[in-house]
Amino acid sequence: NIATLGTLIALFLAVPVAFLAARNTTPSTLFIRPIALLIIVSTRSINSLIWALLLIAIIGPGVFAGVIAIAIRSIGFCAKLLYEAIEEIDHGQVEAITATGASRWQVMAYGIVPQIMPAFAGVAVFRWDINIRESTVLGLVGAGGIGLQLSSSLNVLAWPQVSLILLVILGAVVISEWVSAKVRGAII
């Protein structure tokens, strides 16, 4: 759940950042684009474990800190790949829609978004897959989830419980890998 919620929040925030960072969709290459690129770089350069430690110190331990840590770390990753996809679109389609007298929003909705949807779906699934792995580690520092249970079991040397938790983590990763492969197969 931490990985899923964190990924959804990140995607919701990464899409506007990506549009602001792409040269062909930003309103200002001098002011807005550098700010969007700064957001992308700053959220990508700090590991989710460090974000979790910072957020636990600020808002306290728990699942909320883990979700926000995953989301912050994922914004830059998703926005970078999306803005690169936006910059690589076929400009002929955009010009055709613009020639009909479409507004800027209509050009985005009908000329750009359909071209980047496969990249968006691929990025979303790939980042969700990564976040599942990262979210298990965040519990070890107090950010909730199954990692917190693993940490508690390790502290009391409850090896059967540790083994079961590791099997559950392995099962979750295998399931996420299967879902990821199915979604990527449907896109391609």
Question: How far, in Å, are 30, 130, 134 from residue 175 at the CA level?
Answer: 44, 13, 15
Look at residue 25 and tell me whether its pLDDT is greater than 80: yes
Mean pLDDT of 142-168: 76
- pLDDT digits over 67-96, tens only? 999 999 999 999 999 999 999 988 888 888
Look up tokens 């299967």; give the residue: 178
pLDDT score, position 146 = 67
- Residue 154 CA to residue 163 CA, distance in Å, equals 10
- pLDDT digits over 94-140, tens only? 888 888 888 888 888 888 888 898 888 888 888 888 888 888 777 77
Look up tokens 């990249």; give the residue: 119
pLDDT score, position 165 = 79
For the chain, the structural domain boundaries read 2-187
CATH superfamily assigned to domain 2-187: MetI-like (1.10.3720.10)
